[in-house]
Amino acid sequence: MSAKIPPEQIPSCYHCGDPCEEPIVEEGKSFCCQGCRQVYALLQENGLCTYYDFDKNPGIKARGKFLHERFAYLDDETVIAKLAQFRSEQLIHIHFSLPQMHCASCIYLLENLHRINPGVIRSRADFQKKQVFISFNPQQVTLREVVELLAFIGYEPQISLKDVSAAKSPDINRRKLFHLGVAGFSFANIMMLSFPEYFSGGYITEHGLKEVFAWVIFGLSLPVLFYASASIFESAWKGLRQKDINIDVPIALAIVITFGRSYYEIFTGSGAGYLDSGTGIIFFMLVGRWFQGKTHDALSFDRDYQSYFPLGVTVIRNNREENIPATRLEVGERIIVRNGEMIPSDAILLEGNAMVDYSFVSGENIPVACNVGDLLYAGGRQVGGAIQLKVSKEVSQSYITQLWNNDVFTKDQEKLTSFIHPWSRYFTIALFTVAISAAIYWWLHEPAMIWPVVTSVLIVACPCSLLLSATFTFGNMLRHFGRQKMYLKNEKVVEALAAVDTIVFDKTGTITLSDRHQVIYAGQVLTETDKRMVRSLAGQSAHTLSRFLFQSLHANETDTIPVLSQYQELSGKGIRALVDEVPVRLGSADFIPAGDNTGTDAKGARVYVQIGNQPKGYFEIRQQYRPGMEAMAADLIKMGYQVTVLSGDHDAERSSLEKIFGKSANMQFEASPQDKLAYIKNLQADGRKVLMIGDGLNDAGALKQADAGIAVTDHAARFTPASDVIMDGGSVFKLSRFLKYARSGKTIISISFIVSILYNIVGLSFAVQGLLSPLVAAILMPASSISIIILVSLLGNYMARWKGLYKN
């Protein structure tokens, strides 16, 4: 090991942009590691260096050559059959999910795979879904080779049984667009053909014109009634079958009456009908649904542990390594877990230096050192060399995964009924009251008017504007939330968020940062020289704790750089080297023989220091809270929410948590995943509406049980347990504003309901008098729809700003 370049001069890797501590220079370009250089060499060989032109340092840090057996399970016939969408002798079609896709360069590279491996026939990237479609010739290249190529260039596909079984089809979205297109076409043409009727006041002099137009309109309206409005009738029918009058029931009724009466008028030649307004309303409602349905394709809200656990596991059977599907793993078997691989089930460590990163489970990403004989939990990731384990529980019965055996995950409960629901019921009742009163009035005065009056009442008072205001308000709010990196599963979640009165936080990874830590030193005072020595030693190691230590000790430009020699890293223990000829050790307490190992009240991981032959003290690496938590917590309490913190850790952080949430906040420590779930259930039994915010698999039960569950992640495309909302870690401090905005949704809808009721009163006043001409309907109905859409959009945008969604 030679001298090091100070960080100010450290070049960034040409491939991935990471600082290169020991740059490998080739063709005037520096690379941080062999892995990145190899990827560059591969791309260069195939003339794909345009990859580096679209974005600066677009690459994904390569982890070097992966271990040979890692993807062996992809040679398995049953696995191929499950993964492939189409399969023949010559051709296999397959979709992969690649959450690493992040820029134009990625698309370029992924669509040019055929130039690296001619066995690949075609590859197509879908950036928003973070998917790539690949077709390849299985006689030239195997599935395993394709996946290995992807993994090598940095895009290791997420392959899991869950994703395999449920490949999303684009058909639903296409169907919506088909309906929309047909409805729009018919609406526009019927409107045009109705103009003579509007301007002549019903007395067209030209012989035959009226009849021809009426029949053309009739023809154009048929596809709308029988095709485009199918989704409305389906939803209404579903509601009726469950003995429930949802908002689609009165709408379906209004459609039937509008079309029925219009067809009657056309057949008898007594009028022109209301097909223009009828088709118009259907068109507007379809637009609203399409707008609302534009959800976040790349995110998956319904994942369970199967989506994250590896497909294949390496077991030792008869002294031979074998790759089997994780589901077939049996208790008592010996398995091998290599660097970066996940432990598939609870198991006992037999040999090897285990450093387990449980960030997946708890959000805490400082690896835990384990000794032989320790029980390692499923979901942890091994950092360092290969380890051998003895399986002590089946995959589905492990500490974390048995959470999914709970009822919460088997029942698909309908979480709440929408608050527009009661409105639509009142509306329906009021409407029938008006219709019946009008009928009684006309029965007394002029019985011939009963039929036209009742039908026109039902036509004009269609609750479409109620539906429109709800769909557009929520659709607009989802967009605003999305811009702030809070991704809601659907519009119902807005109402759920508005209704909560209790908020439960997970601690680690949710209100603390998962990638940054506070480093505190305790012990004998370190001189500047000491610090420099520690820093340069720590800089040599790739261990997480060394990285944190290295980052926390700042270097000055004028500093001389210490010279290192005889560097040694003892896995699971620590590192040592001669720094400027002085022996320096960094590591765990037992690595520093003469060290003071007292003080068991550790609040975090400790790194002990020895310089020369003298133990100096230790660095304590603590979790760091996300910025802005105090202000957010104060705001939440002011808004009247009951706040609770649940933590899987011991209560060492109690005092700092009290500083944030106040002394009155409830706190519970050492909570197991089951405890968290039970805690939420208890709150709900007390009639509380609970919002749970968590991040790891250990919060999965609580997130699912809560009335609204928010999964926090620092990489939106990566791991999140099943939840209603996926939120970027950087937006957590805006939680109180998000909740305020969600609450304002109700106000917006109420305002637009009042406006739509005013329109209805005007319309009904024409209708009950028997004066509803097609012209009045044709003006009133689109005008009310459009003005309501504009109103809710403006209000939604205004509220987003007013509630501070865009303030930082």
Partner 1 sequence: MSALFVLIGISILVAGGFLLAFLWSVGNGQYDDDYTPSVRMLFDQEKNTAAKNETENIQVTTPTTK
Residues forming contacts to partner 1 in the complex (CB under 8 A) are: 44, 47-50, 52-54, 104, 107-108, 111-112, 115, 124-129, 170, 173-174, 177-178, 181-182, 185, 188-189, 192-193, 206, 209, 212-213, 216, 220
Between β-strands 502-506 and 690-694, what pairing exists: parallel, antiparallel or unpaired?
Answer: parallel
Our CB check for partner 1 shows the closer of 131 and 502 to be 131
Q: How far is the CB of 274 from partner 1 (least distance, A)?
A: 20
Rg (CA), the chain: 33
Q: Which residues contact 195 (CB under 8 A, 6 or more apart)?
A: none
Our CB check for partner 1 shows the closer of 224 and 376 to be 224
Q: How far is the CB of 502 from partner 1 (least distance, A)?
A: 39
Based on the number of CB atoms within 10 Å of its own CB, is 762 exposed (0-12), middle (13-18) or buried (19 or more)? middle
Based on the number of CB atoms within 10 Å of its own CB, is 562 exposed (0-12), middle (13-18) or buried (19 or more)? buried
Q: How far is the CB of 169 from partner 1 (least distance, A)?
A: 10
Our CB check for partner 1 shows the closer of 176 and 531 to be 176
- Whether residue 696 contacts residue 403, with contact meaning beta carbons closer than 8 Å, is answered with no
Query: In angstroms, how far is the first alpha carbon of the chain from the final one?
Result: 45
* Eight-state DSSP code of residue 448: G
CA distances from 108 to 123, 134, 153, 191, 312 (A): 10, 14, 13, 46, 30
Which parts of 166-289 are beta strand (E)?
none
Our CB check for partner 1 shows the closer of 185 and 432 to be 185
Our CB check for partner 1 shows the closer of 52 and 305 to be 52
Q: How far is the CB of 173 from partner 1 (least distance, A)?
A: 7
Joined together, the tokens standing for residue 194 give 């109705």
Q: How far is the CB of 104 from partner 1 (least distance, A)?
A: 5
Q: Which amino acid is at 693?
A: I
Q: How far is the CB of 805 from partner 1 (least distance, A)?
A: 24
- Whether residue 292 contacts residue 251, with contact meaning beta carbons closer than 8 Å, is answered with no
Our CB check for partner 1 shows the closer of 290 and 441 to be 290
Q: How far is the CB of 276 from partner 1 (least distance, A)?
A: 15
Our CB check for partner 1 shows the closer of 32 and 453 to be 32
Q: How far is the CB of 152 from partner 1 (least distance, A)?
A: 20
Joined together, the tokens standing for residue 369 give 């050192």
Tokens 């002590």 correspond to what residue? 392
In three-state secondary structure terms, 664 is coil
Give the residues across from 356 on adjacent strands.
368, 382
Q: How far is the CB of 46 from partner 1 (least distance, A)?
A: 8
Distance separating alpha carbons of residues 118 and 139, to the nearest angstrom: 11
Q: How far is the CB of 49 from partner 1 (least distance, A)?
A: 5
Give the residues across from 694 on adjacent strands.
711
Based on the number of CB atoms within 10 Å of its own CB, is 587 exposed (0-12), middle (13-18) or buried (19 or more)? buried
Our CB check for partner 1 shows the closer of 40 and 719 to be 40
Our CB check for partner 1 shows the closer of 54 and 198 to be 54
Q: How far is the CB of 11 from partner 1 (least distance, A)?
A: 14
Q: Which residues in 678-687 are b (16+ Cβ under 10 Å) and which e?
A: bbbbebeeee
Our CB check for partner 1 shows the closer of 63 and 115 to be 115
Q: How far is the CB of 53 from partner 1 (least distance, A)?
A: 6
Q: Which long-range contacts (CB under 8 A, 24 or more apart) does 320-327 make?
A: 321/69, 323/69, 323/72, 323/73, 323/76, 324/73, 325/73, 325/76, 325/79, 325/161, 326/395, 327/161, 327/395
Distance separating alpha carbons of residues 555 and 529, to the nearest angstrom: 11
- Whether residue 573 contacts residue 591, with contact meaning beta carbons closer than 8 Å, is answered with yes
Our CB check for partner 1 shows the closer of 107 and 762 to be 107
Between β-strands 708-713 and 725-728, what pairing exists: parallel, antiparallel or unpaired?
Answer: parallel
Our CB check for partner 1 shows the closer of 183 and 575 to be 183
Q: How far is the CB of 213 from partner 1 (least distance, A)?
A: 8
* Eight-state DSSP code of residue 224: I
- Whether residue 454 contacts residue 437, with contact meaning beta carbons closer than 8 Å, is answered with no
Our CB check for partner 1 shows the closer of 104 and 561 to be 104
Our CB check for partner 1 shows the closer of 294 and 659 to be 294
Joined together, the tokens standing for residue 766 give 């024409």
Q: How far is the CB of 777 from partner 1 (least distance, A)?
A: 23
Distance separating alpha carbons of residues 696 and 365, to the nearest angstrom: 11
